[in-house]
Amino acid sequence: MSGMDKRHKETIKKIRLIMKAICNDVLSGKKMPSFDITKIGYDNTVWSEEKRMLTVGTKTVHISPDTTKKIPTFSQYVVMSNAVRKLLDEQMESTIRGMYYATLSTVGDERNRQKFWTSQDASDDAIKAVELLTGVPREEFSVTSKPKGMISGPILLRVGGDLIDCNLGSRATSQLIPTNIMDVEIVDVKADFVMVVEKDTVLNNIRKSGFIQKYNAILMTGSGEPDRATRMMVKTLNEVWKKPVVVFADADPWGLGIALRYKIGSESLSYDSDRLVTPDAKVLGMMFSDIYEYNIPEVARLTASDEDLNRANDMKKKQWLKDKKWQKELNLFLKNKEKCELDAFFKHGFRYLAETYLPQKLRESGIL
């Protein structure tokens, strides 16, 4: 606890130093204040063969109010830095939406008034910038997003002073994975392996079938795009607790992308891969080839959109998907132009997914 407080104090200090630097530039009057931060996104993402994950490159962005376009951005970063300092000073936590509200404002005069934030996205970007400026991950300065990751199975967590047993019966609801992951400690894990699925609907179906008890598994989901806490939890289970991790997502380029978030990271968070990525995770399904091998009825298949196809073509070109297996799957998709969701197995009956498809895939990969 006091370790936490100490880290908070350090963050406050870092923010004050940034403010000071701006101040000096302005008061000396010699140059526009400016600072460089790591560029994030696809054009500063590098595949590391050694680490087996996406890592951040060396490009930086010059933040300074020197052009029309950059004036609002610079101001937003400064204002958000101050808001984070305030939050820490008040010893509170906030969601990213809370930070947006706390810094809501307008600029301009009577005749020409506009919003300080064009939308919450701009505020989210500013929070990211504060992370990059201070080198402190968001969780450490108590800004979290809404929890969406879920976990079920024989695992015991401690959050603050509370013990949370996720090993509940098939009727109970899964536990949310706290987004203030720095406060979470894994006390004990009894499971043999961890199975991550893309969507909570699917997780729910699997759980209700008694899968956890039967196979002694932990079920997790990020409910779509996983938040950082979910990714970090997966990583810890795999690397600290040495539990094999398998991932199942929908058979479409977006599902595949989500599955790969766990295994190799993402372009937008490549600067934080070291904390988030689990290179030993196995992406097992749902493969495009499964559509045909498991005989998904045609009505449950969906026609790929142009957007899907473009995305698949993009993915085919990525260095980290040059593996024959992925190329084969992507080519199959581009040829048949059919995609499919895991839920589609429900057409074979509500138990087929959990009792036939998953065990078979797990056996094939040697997990069972």
Residues forming contacts to other proteins in the complex (CB under 8 A) are: 15-16, 19-20, 22-23, 26-27, 29, 32, 65-68, 71-72, 74-75, 78-79, 81-82, 85-86, 105, 107-109, 112, 116
CA distance 159 to 243: 21
Residue 198's nearest CA partner among 147, 259, 276, 280 is 259
Residues contributing to the site for a copy of itself (CB under 8 A): 86-87, 90, 92-95, 97-98, 101-102, 104-106, 116, 146-147, 159-162, 164-165, 168-180, 183, 200-201, 204-205, 208-209, 298-300, 341, 343-344, 346-347, 349-351
Beta strands in 42-111 (DSSP E): 45-48, 53-56, 60-63, 94-95, 106-109
- Taking the C-alpha atoms of residue 224 and residue 200, their distance in angstroms, rounded to an integer, is 8
From the list a copy of itself, other proteins, none, partner contacted by residue 23 (C-beta under 5 to 8 A by kind) = other proteins
Nearer to other proteins, 12 or 245 (CB): 12
For other proteins, give the closer residue by CB, 20 or 363. 20
Among the listed residues 42, 77, 100, 101, the single catalytic one is 101
β 155-159/184-189 pair status: antiparallel
Our CB check for a copy of itself shows the closer of 164 and 332 to be 164
Rounded Cα distance between 304 and 309, Å, is 7
Looking at beta carbons only, is 96 or 258 nearer to a copy of itself?
Answer: 96
Helix (H, G, I), strand (E, B) or coil at 183: helix
Give me the helix-helix angle, 306-317 and 324-336, nearest 10°: 160
Residue 16 interacts, among other proteins, a copy of itself, none and using kind-specific CB cut-offs from 5 to 8 Å, with other proteins
In the bound complex, what is the minimum distance in angstroms from residue 99's beta carbon to a copy of itself?
Answer: 8
Quick one: residue 192, left, alpha or beta (phi over 0 = left, psi -120 to 50 = alpha)? alpha
For β-strands 94-95 and 338-339, DSSP reports them as: unpaired
Smallest gap from residue 353 Cβ to other proteins (A): 20
215 is catalytic: no
**Active site amino acids:** 101
